Amino acid sequence: MEAFQRLDAVAAPMPVPNVDTDQIIPARFLRKPRKEGYGQYLFHDLRFDDAGGEKPEFVLNRAPYRGARILVADKNFGCGSSREHAVYALWDYGFRAVIAPSFGDIFYENSFKNGFLPIILPIETAAALCRALEAKPGARMMVDLAAQEVIGSAGTRHRFDIDTFRKECLLRGIDELDFTLSHRSEIEAFERRQAQAVPWI
């Protein structure tokens, strides 16, 4: 997993609530192998018309936002299906962080597993950040994970909360699996106790 420390990048605003994972990547692309990459499918039906041409009004098709690596969204971003492809698609396109007032729980979990940082900020803050980005298309924002701080395109500073363990994993680019495997003896002890208590499972 790639480490995440500090990101200074162009940010794109998407002030729409309940952006579900079917919007992020439609179901028909999920059977494509992971190694082929999913960036081309990101927001596919919002980005492209029926003939495959770009919809000029869509934010990522507007020149100043093309290189965006930070997305600023609205509440309940990533709700819906558990498809981790939603994170793969954002990642493969080039995004590394998304800021929103709230997230679909599974999307939120999936993000950390892929070195992708979901940041929760109050709804007014996210809305203000979006307005600033719309006022100055192509403006950059900064995310400093160690300091747990977002710096908006207008220079405003916003602290965010993050679980300590996840922060460590992201900063160092390690995933949970190795850590869990180090708890093997506790897992085995649990299994012995459970075999006594609920032998029918």
Q: Which is nearer to other proteins, 69 or 85 (CB)?
A: 85
Its sign, for the CA torsion 24, 73, 69, 134, is positive
Cβ 153 to other proteins, closest distance in Å? 21
> At its nearest, how many Å lie between other proteins and the CB of residue 66?
23
- Measured from the CB atom, the residue of 19 and 142 that comes closer to other proteins is 19
Min CB(104)–other proteins separation in Å: 7
CA dist., res. 15 & res. 99, Å (int): 11
Closest to other proteins by CB, 8 or 146: 146
Minimum CB separation of residue 42 from other proteins in Å reads: 14
Rounded to whole angstroms, how far apart are CA atoms 38 and 58?
18
Closer to other proteins by CB, 63 or 198: give it: 198
Shortest distance, CB of residue 5 to other proteins, whole angstroms? 20
Q: Which residues of this chain interact with other proteins, rule CB under 8 A?
A: 15-18, 20, 22-23, 26-28, 30-32, 34, 45, 50, 74-76, 79-84, 87, 102-107, 109-110, 113-114, 163-165, 175-177, 180-181, 183, 186-187, 190-191, 194, 198-201
- 110 versus 153: smaller Cβ distance to other proteins: 110
